[in-house]
Each structure stands twice: as structure tokens, then as C-alpha cells.
A and B are shown apart, each in its own frame.
Chain A
Amino acid sequence: MTDPLVSLDNLTVRFDERPVVDRVNLTVHRGDIITIIGPNGAGKTTLIKAILGIEKVSEGQVSLGKNLIIGYVPQHLTLEPTLPLSVKRFMLLSGRSLSECESALGHTGIAHLLTASVHHLSGGEKQRLLLARALARKPDLLVLDEPAQGVDINGQASLYDLIRQLRDDLNCGVIMISHDLHLVMAATDKVICLNQHVCCSGYPADISHDPAFIETFGRPVAESLAVYHHHHNHSHDLHGNVVDSDAHNARSGHGGHTECDHAHH
């Protein structure tokens, strides 16, 4: 086994003595996709900010691999309306060459937007731009904070597919935060359920039966996920809700084609 990209040793972050992240241990290797889930205020964002070095660690340790290049995809790109910025200029600010930037944009499927203004992009296009920005740096580790936020349900599924594919192409490690439990359960290697401390972790199929998981998210969610695992072709479920299978079938009744991966463009 090669050296881990990241290892956390009893990582603790406190705000005013209150532990927000409590003694978390975690290792990420090349090729891993690790998804952090958990309720609001569970310390998910604080945890990845500590890994990124932009949040002060109160106790414990974050060890990063030597010369590790991190590609960070923040939750939002909220641009001041007064700041004019084209996609091309934003990409070039990564300090990489134009051809590297163009190939990164191609990877995330928005090469045609090279000369567009960042202000005119849709939510999904902005997320793909942020992803391309991270890719242009040829990262060893990709860190994503709710990458599918503000993206419609079809877009979410294809975004998670894209992340998986990028992991294969770049052979990098991936840490992401997600609320899209249904999609995550199908697209991830390992899930960490955070509620200040790691309340449970493991493979998606196992974790939905974990009593700690059921306690955190409630039985309906856990059961819907367990059920969902038997039908994971249907990649366009409602966000976090139990799916009424009749209504679901009625909506997607056009020729029984239920894969919506390519509905983005």
C-alpha cells in the first residue's frame, strides 16, 4: 500500500471550547472516494477546512503527503457583480497554461463556455467550472464541499458520475461533503457519517443498517436508502425524501427509460 494522501489523527477543532469536530481519525489513499455526510451543524465543512489548512486545528494532527497538490471545489462561487470575469481568465488564474485549462474544461464538459462570462453561467455550469479549476492544477487530492448544491436532480447524478470518472482518470483521492444521500450511496466507496465525532463509517450498503446512522437520520431515511440500493439504476430520486414508487414510475413513464445521466446539455 502506498503512503496515504491525508491522515487525520484525533483531529479536534473547537469554537469557544465547544468541539465542532471531535477526535476524528481518517486516512485517504489514492483512488479513494470518501463522502462525509451528516446533519446540519455536524462539523462537515469545518472538518474539510481543517484538512485544507484554512481552519485552525485545536488538537490532534493533519498530515498531508509530501508536495501534495489539493484541488478545492468550494460550495459556491459567489462573484461580486462589479468584478468582470470570463471563464478563460478565471481558469488562467490557476497559473496553468491555456491548453491545460482547455483540457480541464473539456473534462468537465464545458469547453464551449471558454469565452463566456462567469456571471452568465447557470448553477450547474458554475460547479463544473469550479471542478475544472481544481482539475487544471492536476491535484493528488480533490476536496469538494457539496459539489451538487444548486444543481437540478438530473445534473446532480451526472456530476457525481463525473467525479467518479475523474478519480479514475487522474488516480487522485476524493473527499466530499454531500447531502444527496441517495446519489452518494451509489457513487461512493466509503461513507463517513459525522456528528461532531464519526458516528459511523463504512461501505454504503452496510452503513444504512448501522444503528448510529438510523439514529442520526431517522428510520424512514435509512430504510429508503436500503430500499434504494436494490434499484440503483434509477439515479434521479428526490433529495433526501422517501420516494413514492408509483408516482415515480408515472413521471418517468416515457418508454421506461429511467437513466437521466445525459440530460445536462
Chain B
Amino acid sequence: MPIIDAILDDFFWRALIGGLGVALVAGPLGCFVVWRRMAYFGDTLAHSALLGIALSFLISVPLNVGVIITCVVLAMALVLLSRTRALATDTLLGILAHSALAIGLVTLSFMPDVRVDLTGLLFGDLLAMSREDLLWIYGGAALILLLLAVLWRGLIMSTIHEELARVEGVPVERIRLVLMLMFSLVIAVAMKIVGVLLITALLIIPAATARRLAHNPEIMVAMAIGFGFVAVSGGLSLSWHLDTPAGPSVVVTAFAVFLLVYGAAAKVRT
């Protein structure tokens, strides 16, 4: 297919297609981050992605694989540690988030042979999206959307009232686990576009924007996806025309939309 080939040869189109794929799953997962107050948790996982990158170079596995495995291990560690209740959850998250990021940076500095574009990893890079990345993104997105569709009722019920869900036979613990796996996956695939430091913003801001307009969880998810699309396409265009870093441009666009929607909604009220 020569047309598709031509499009995929263009780095901007690759970035845009990849970014839209990320927004497609960042919408629903972002809603769960907002609903379940997991913003700090998402940050911690995202920060650990850098450690995952360092480890991938060390044991020479593909970056995505290294990042997913690190995020999953960290998520499990978080669940187990928070059960002991020795430390408050936010303290625990603060320790792990920044330690994982710092260990990742220190480890990378020990590998002078490895040339990594640190700015690109931290803040996203318009030029970095390869064809293989697109496969990862759409493969990951398909898997996440499938899981969301199958588990939807249980996910929403355990978010509304965990005990009520359990009495109604929802496997609450297993659902929590699957949700963590989905977060790890989305972080691994979103890293290239927005960078590890800004992934949580792409999850939270479109969802929070959608909250202002939505009256039901499903509508909020659909709107969050829409606002994510706007943020990605606007941000990447900004990055292309003004040569600004990709991740921050996407987040700035998302934030502008957020302000617009809340401003307009406030005006309608008065």
C-alpha cells in the first residue's frame, strides 16, 4: 500500500498516529486514575520507567519490555508494602517514585557506551516514533481496550464501592491487579510521545476536563478520549511548527482545553 507507506515514512505522521493511539487508552485509564485517586501512584510508575530503560540496556532486552516488567514489579511491591501499613501510602510513593528515577539516572550514567537521549525520554520526542513503536502502541491499545470492555462492570463497581462489589461477586483483587498491569502497559507505550515525567498529565488532564461535562462514567471516558485526541494533535502540531518539545506541548494543549472548558462552564452557570 504505497499511500500508507508514504504516510508511515513521515516522522510527523508516525508521531501523530502513535499519539492518537496513546490517547485512545489514556482516556479510560486516566478516568480510573482520577476516580480512584491514583495520580501519585501513576507518577511513581512512570518515574520507574526510566529505571526500566536503564535495566533494558543492562540486560539487553527491548526498551518496552524492560519498562513493562519494571513497572509491574514496582506496582506489586507497592501493593504489598502498602498492606503492611508501616508508612503512609503517599510517603511510600514519594520514596519509591524518586528513588526509582534517581537509580535509573545513576545507572544510565554508568553506561557511557549507551547513547540515550535523556531529554527525549523525560519529555518526549517527536522524532523518536518508529514503525515498531506504532505496533507496540496499537497492540497494547487493543489489549487494554479488550480488557476494559470485558471487565467494565466489575471495574466500575469496585471503584464505586469495593465491598458492595465483592458481595456481588466481583473479583476485586484480581481487577485491581489487571488495572495495574494496564497502567504499566500504557506507561511503556506513552513514554516515547510525552516522556516519563509528563505521562500522568496526559492521563489526568483530559479526564478531569471531561468530568466537567459528563453525567455518566461511560460518557466521561468517551469525552476524555476526545480531549486526549485534541491535546495530542494540537500539541504535536505546535511542536512541529514552533520546534517545541513534544511532551510539554501536548500537556500545554491539554491544559488550555481544560481551562477553556471550565471557563465556559462557569460562564454558562452565571
Contact = CB atoms under 8 A, between A and B. Distances in A.
Contacts of A93: 153, 156-157, 160
B167 A72 contact: yes
B217 A84 contact: yes
Instruction: Using C-beta atoms within 8 Å of the partner chain, give the interface range for chain B.
Output: 20 to 34
B35 interface: yes
Interface stretch (B6-14, B17-25, B207-215, B238-246): B207-215
Interface in A54-88: 54, 70, 72, 74, 77, 79-80, 82-86
Contacts of B215: 84, 86, 117
B160 A85 contact: yes
Contacts of B219: 84
A197 interface: no
A38 B214 CA distance: 43
A53 B161 contact: no
A52 interface: yes
A74 B168 CA distance: 12
Nearest to B154: A93
B167 A84 contact: no
B37 interface: yes
Contacts, number: 58
A53 B167 contact: yes
Contact of B161 (A70, A74, A86, A117): A74
B221 to A, nearest CB: 10
Interface string B181-218: 00000000000000000000000000110010011111
A95 to B, nearest CB: 7
Contact of A77 (B156, B159, B161, B211): B161
A94 interface: yes
Contacts of A72: 163-164, 167-168
Prevailing SS type, chain A contact patch:
loop
B220 interface: yes
A89 interface: yes
A70 B167 contact: yes
Contacts of B208: 82
Contacts of B37: 80
B166 interface: yes
Contacts of A74: 161, 163-164
Contacts of B163: 49, 52, 54, 72, 74
Given A74-B161, A77-B161, A84 B220 contact: yes
Nearest to B220: A84
Contact of A79 (B160, B207, B218): B160
Contacts of B156: 93
A54 B167 contact: yes
Interface of B: 34-37, 153, 156-157, 159-161, 163-164, 166-168, 207-208, 211, 214-220
Interface of A: 49, 52-54, 70, 72, 74, 77, 79-80, 82-86, 89-90, 93-95, 117, 133, 137
12 contacts: A54-B166, A72-B163, A74-B163, A80-B36, A82-B211, A84-B217, A85-B160, A85-B216, A85-B217, A89-B217, A95-B153, A137-B168
Closest 9 CB pairs of A and B: A72-B167, A83-B35, A82-B34, A84-B214, A54-B166, A89-B216, A52-B167, A84-B215, A80-B35
